[in-house]
Structures are given as structure tokens and as C-alpha cells.
Amino acid sequence: MFRYISKVIRYLSLKNKNASQDTTTGKVNNEPISSDLKRNLEVIKGILRDSSDVTFHEFNFGHDRRFKGALIFINSLADKNEIHKNILQPLMYDVLLLKKDANMDFTKIDTVSKNLISITDTQKLVLASDLIDHLLAGATILLVDGAKEALAIKSQKVEHRGIEEPGTEAVVRGPREGFNENVNVSIALIRRKIKDPDLCIEKFNIGERSKTDVYIVYIKNVANPKLIEEIRERLDRIKIDAILESGYIEQFIEDAPYSIFPTVSNSEKPDKVVSKILEGRAAILVDGTPFALVVPMLFIESFQSGEDYYSRPFLASIMRLIRFLSYIISALGPAIYVALTVFHQELMPTQLLISIAAGRERVPFPAILEASLMIFTFDILREAGVRLPKAVGQTVGIVGALVLGQASVEAGLISPIMVIVVSSTAIASFAVPAQTDSGTILRYIYLALAGLAGGFGVIMGLLATLLHLASLRSFGTPYLWPIVPLNFSSLKDTFIRMPLWTMSKRPSAVVWDESDNYRQSPGLMPSPYKKDSGGSK
């Protein structure tokens, strides 16, 4: 009920806001650029009245300096060198190289751009609002007296990092490059890996104020057109003032906003994103962040790492099983400990029971409180360690983990086995980075259930989680695919990773055309002695 009312209120206020925006910016929106340079400059100055970093440079050019022009750019965004070399110099000096009797009419912007400007990326503008948009995006605007159009010259210089190895997804084997805050660099990284005319890069502009560039990247004929349509629709729905990170987009397009499980995956690594694009997924790149979103996401993806495919399948399979195991430990560890020690002592071997009992002899808290305290302390430690500078962070880690742990055990506040349980849980939770969030939350939920009703509570919690996961969908794809619903042929890349030459098909839940989704020809198993390898003499 309250929710309904608050929704109505929110909706109404949003409507008002939209209406008011229309009235204030309406004048600018529709005004065309006039042929009078002076007037144009006044209008623009009026719009950008408070910005001190906008340069208005008026100049005369042509053989006898009879044409008037103006350059407008934002100091901080434009590359002045380029402006001098490729715009001002041609206009003011190189123009003299033209024959005087050519008699060119430089009041036409077309003539100017075709004959004088030596920058390729230019665009003609008619509306003042477009002009402002381009200016703010970093373009240099050329206005010529007498022309009813302006020229936007893309001469921006964006400061950005070099291509570095991403901190979140370090690998032992595999490419080290990572995406960049500059979306153009990110797209370039993808383009370099897929040299295919079918690779589509669709541009969106989201954010009333930030005007952030958002790109959908996919391969036509591989990605399901319905999926792309759905992404377009969901992106179009977003009406927001600014997109600062891809997380903003994620939260507006995800399927299950109330679920603790993410239904949109993200990555910093081009090779990972490209492999998913090749499977028929779509990536969403956002300017200003190295994190690309990939949809649809499957639960299984959290346990697959790029390295699984680069290294040989045997260890990769074991590592994957270990990842599954560690996720289970991270979610269930403390809960099982509490359920066993409080409710089901008969299920432990006698020796273990005796040593646990001996360890707990002086502990004043009930086990559930002890466990929650420990987990809580660990989460504090982790949060503090992440935020602090590296040097101090290590100290916090040592003080927290070693000193605090040791001292609390010796003081009899915590039993030593609890320390073991919680710390192994904590370590395990980092083995599956994509599900660390859900693992942490589940740990608290299961712990509460175990404290309430022991093993019964944990089983019920697990069942509810399973049903919840089974009912989730990410852009139409069942989240737990291929386990739920069962798809036998795809299980070869689930719990273990079969050799690459066995996985000749793309995952059938994601692709468009299920009948023809071969990514490699079947039967590629290497067998060196099959053919007449004549050189063996």
C-alpha cells in the first residue's frame, strides 16, 4: 500500500520535472544557427554564461582577410596543438597558397571544410543545441560569418591511462590488457580481436546531463536479435541525469532487482568479453569506466575464468570444482558449524566433538553469537583493508587477522575452531569473485537459519535459494542453465571443462539459431599420426 502511494508520488514528481525541463531548455532546443556570427556568439555565450574555460577565438581569414570566423572550444578538453596546426594554420596561412582568382566563397561551411580543414572527423551542425552538445563533448566549433551552419571538429584530447593489467582479474596465463576509462580504447581492444564485418557497435547516449556514450557490442547473426532488441528497449527506458559507471546501467536493466544474485556480469578484460560476444552475448560498454557489462549472465559464468580455457583442461577442471566447493564453503561454512555444534552433535566423530568441546569450554557466548561476531569482525577487516592505502592495509590485515585472532582465542572469547571455520570461509569467498556479494549475504542468512533451526533450517534455506535461482532469468535465459533446466550436452563446460575440441557448439541457451550454432567444426581432436606425416624420416 505504502509502496503504491510512494510510487505514485514519485511518478508525479518525475512528470513535473520533465515538464519544467521542457520549458527552460525549449528555446535553445529549436533555435537554428543564424548567419550572423555576432549573434551566434552572443547566444552561445548566453548559454555558457558561467563557464570560464570556454575560449572564443575570433579571426579573419582568406586572401584579404575578408571572411570572419570564430573558433569555440573548451580549454580543458581541446587539443590546442591540433587546433593551431590543423585548423587555424590552414585557415589563416595555407589558404594563401590557393590561387587568388579561385575566388572561393568561404561563407559556405562546406567549402571551408572541404578545402581547408585537415581534420577528418568533422560534422556539420544546424541547431544551436547540437552545437552546445558537441562543444561540451570536446569538439572545436568553427563558425563562419554568413554561414547558417557550424562545423564541429573533433579535436579533443582526452587524458587517459595507458592499457594496464586490470587489478580485479589478474591471470597467470592469458592477455594482460584491460579495458580503459576511455571507451574508444575499449572498443579498439575488442575490434582488434574480432575482425569481422558482422561485429556491430551501436551507440546510445544516456544521461540528461552526463550525456554518456554507451555502446552495445555484439555480432550480428550470432547474437539473438530479440536479445539486442530487448537491450535497446531497456536502455531507452533509462531516464537519469548521469551515468557515472556501468553499475548505473546494470541496476536499471537487470531482471531481478530484488535478488541478491547478479543477473548482469561485468569484466575488465577484453579477452573475456570477446569470448562472451562470440558465444552470442552482447556487451555494453560505458564511457568512463573500464567495466563492461555482458548480458545475459548465467550463474555458471561466475565459476568460469578465462584461464580455464587457456590452460589445459585437466587442472582447469579441478580448479573449477574447487571454485564450486569454495563457494559452497563460503556460503555454508559457519552455518554448518553452528548447526553441528548446537543441534547435531551426534553427527560429529567423537574425537572431533571432544576437541571442539574442549576449545569452547571457556567461551562465554552461544555458538551463533560467536560465529556472527567473528564473521562481522572479518567483514570489518576486509572493508577497512580495501579502503586503506596499500602499506597501511597490510598492517591492518596482520593486526586484525593475527593479533586479534590469536588474542581472542587466548582470552577465551572465541574458540580456536571457530577461527579456523571463519577464516577458511573468508578465504573461500574470494575464490569466486563474481559471487562474493551473494556469498557474503547468503552466509549471514544461512547462519541465522542454522541458529534458528539447525540443519533443518539450512536445508530449507538451501531449497528456497535453489527455487529462487531456478526462477531467475537474465534477459530471457534461465539463470541456472544448463543445470536447470537440464541440458546434457552443455554440461561439458559446467562442473568440469572438457577439452576445447569437444565444445564445438555455442551454448544453446544464449544463441539465436539453435540448429546452426557451430563455432568450430566438430571432430577437431588432434591426432598427429592420422595423416601421412611424411617428414618423419
Partner 1 sequence: MRIEKGNICNMQLLFLITGFVQSSISLIDFTVVITEHQTWMVILAGLVIATPFILSYVALAKRFPGMNLIQINDAVYGRFLGKVISVYYIFFLMMTLSFNILDVGELYATFLMPDTPFIYLLIFFTATCAYAVTKGLEVLARVSHLFVVVGIIVPVSTFLLLIDQMDFSNFLPFFELPLIRVFHGIHIMLSIPFGETIVFLMIMGSVNKTEGMVKNTLTGLLIGTSSLLIAAVRNTAVLGNTEAIWTSPSFQSTRLIDIGTVLTRMDFLIGIAQTVLIFFKCSLFFYALAVAVSQLFGLKSYLPLVLPLAGIEVIIAATVFQSPVDHAAITQDAGIIYSVPLMFVIPPLSLLIAKICGLPKPERGKGV
Partner 2 sequence: MTKKINIKINILTSKLVLCLLMLFMLSGCSGGREINDLEIVIGMGVDKDEDTGNILLTAQVVKEGEMEKSSGSGGGGGDGKAFWNVTGTGESVFESVRQITHKTGNRLFVSHNHVIIFGKDLASEGLQKYIDFFLRAHEMRPTAIILIAEGRALDVMNAKPETEKLPAMNIAKLVKTYGFTSHFYKVNMKDFASCLMCDSRSPIAPLVGVSKDGDNKDIYMSGMAVFKNDKMVGRLNEDETRGLLWVLGKVKSGVLLISFPNKQGKAAFEILEAKSKVIPEIKDGKIVMHVKIKAESSLSEQTTAEDLATIEAFEKMQKAQAEVIRQEIMAAFDKSRELNADVFGFGEMIRKKHSNKWKSLKDKWDEIYQTIELNTDIEVKIQKTDLLKKPASPKKEEK
Residue 50's binding partner out of partner 1, partner 2, none, with CB under 5 to 8 Å set by partner kind: none
Kindly state whether residue 459 participates in binding partner 1, applying the rule CB under 8 A.
yes
> Which one of 246-254, 354-362, 481-489, 518-526 is the stretch in contact with partner 1 (CB under 8 A)?
481-489
Task: State in Å, rounded, how far the first CA of the chain is from the last one.
Answer: 85
Rounded to a whole number of angstroms, the minimum distance from the CB of residue 325 to partner 1 is: 17
Backbone phi and psi for residue 202, each to the nearest 5 degrees, phi listed first = -100, 135
Rounded to a whole number of angstroms, the minimum distance from the CB of residue 485 to partner 1 is: 5
Kindly state whether residue 455 participates in binding partner 1, applying the rule CB under 8 A.
yes
Q: Of all helices (H) and strands (E), which one includes residue 309?
A: helix 306-310
What does the radius of gyration of the chain's CA atoms come to, in whole angstroms? 31
d(CA 368, CA 338) in angstroms, rounded, equals 6
Quote the Cα angle for 208-213-214, to 5°: 105
Kindly state whether residue 64 participates in binding partner 1, applying the rule CB under 8 A.
no
Kindly state whether residue 126 participates in binding partner 1, applying the rule CB under 8 A.
no
Kindly state whether residue 137 participates in binding partner 2, applying the rule CB under 8 A.
no
Rounded to a whole number of angstroms, the minimum distance from the CB of residue 114 to partner 2 is: 53
Kindly state whether residue 350 participates in binding partner 2, applying the rule CB under 8 A.
yes
> Which one of 65-73, 120-128, 255-263, 480-488 is the stretch in contact with partner 2 (CB under 8 A)?
255-263
> Which one of 131-139, 157-165, 460-468, 529-537 is the stretch in contact with partner 1 (CB under 8 A)?
460-468
Say if CB 335 and CB 446 are below 8 A apart: yes
Q: Which is nearer to partner 2, 201 or 459 (CB)?
A: 459
Q: Which is nearer to partner 1, 127 or 484 (CB)?
A: 484
Say if CB 213 and CB 134 are below 8 A apart: no
Residue 484's binding partner out of partner 1, partner 2, none, with CB under 5 to 8 Å set by partner kind: partner 1
Q: Which of 41, 136, 328, 452: binder of partner 2 (CB under 8 A)?
A: 452
Rounded to a whole number of angstroms, the minimum distance from the CB of residue 294 to partner 1 is: 24
Tell which residue, 120, 127, 166, 116, has the closest CA to residue 149.
Answer: 127
DSSP 3-state of 163:
coil
Report how many residues bind partner 2 under the rule CB under 8 A: 30
Q: Which of 32, 366, 412, 522: binder of partner 2 (CB under 8 A)?
A: 366
Say if CB 69 and CB 89 are below 8 A apart: no
Q: Which is nearer to partner 1, 413 or 470 (CB)?
A: 470
Backbone phi and psi for residue 283, each to the nearest 5 degrees, phi listed first = -105, 145
d(CA 226, CA 234) in angstroms, rounded, equals 12
* Helix orientation angle between 313-338 and 436-471, rounded to the nearest 10 degrees: 90
In terms of Cβ atoms closer than 10 Å to its own Cβ (0-12, 13-18, 19+), residue 178 is buried
Q: Which is nearer to partner 2, 311 or 355 (CB)?
A: 355
Kindly state whether residue 60 participates in binding partner 2, applying the rule CB under 8 A.
no
**For the chain, what's the residue count?**
537
Kindly state whether residue 464 participates in binding partner 2, applying the rule CB under 8 A.
yes
Tell which residue, 55, 311, 306, has the closest CA to residue 166.
Answer: 306
Q: Which of 167, 197, 257, 349: binder of partner 1 (CB under 8 A)?
A: 349
Q: Which whole-number Å values give the CA distances from 114 to 108, 110, 117, 126, 189, in the listed order?
A: 10, 6, 7, 17, 32
Rounded to a whole number of angstroms, the minimum distance from the CB of residue 474 to partner 1 is: 15
Q: Which residues in 159-176 are b (16+ Cβ under 10 Å) and which e?
A: eeeebeebeebebeebbe
Kindly state whether residue 6 participates in binding partner 2, applying the rule CB under 8 A.
no
Q: Which of 101, 346, 361, 532: binder of partner 1 (CB under 8 A)?
A: 346
Give long-range contacts, CB 8 A cutoff, 24+ apart: 413-417.
413/363, 413/364, 413/365, 414/363, 414/370, 414/373, 414/374, 415/356, 415/359, 415/360, 415/363, 415/370, 416/359, 417/337, 417/355, 417/356, 417/359, 417/360
Residue 466's binding partner out of partner 1, partner 2, none, with CB under 5 to 8 Å set by partner kind: partner 1
Tell which residue, 518, 42, 477, 492, has the closest CA to residue 298.
Answer: 477
Kindly state whether residue 263 participates in binding partner 2, applying the rule CB under 8 A.
no
Backbone phi and psi for residue 203, each to the nearest 5 degrees, phi listed first = -105, 140
Q: Which of 363, 421, 426, 434: binder of partner 2 (CB under 8 A)?
A: 363
Kindly state whether residue 467 participates in binding partner 1, applying the rule CB under 8 A.
yes
Contact pattern from residue 483 through residue 522 relative to partner 1, giving x for each residue in contact according to CB under 8 A and a dash for the rest: xxxx------------------------------------
Q: Which is nearer to partner 1, 151 or 339 (CB)?
A: 339
For residue 392, give the C-alpha cell: 597501511
Residues that bind partner 2 (CB under 8 A): 256, 258-259, 341-343, 345-346, 350, 353-361, 363, 366-367, 448-449, 451-454, 464, 468, 471
| Residues found near partner 1 in the complex (CB under 8 A) | 343-344, 346-349, 453-457, 459-460, 463-464, 466-468, 470-471, 478, 483-486
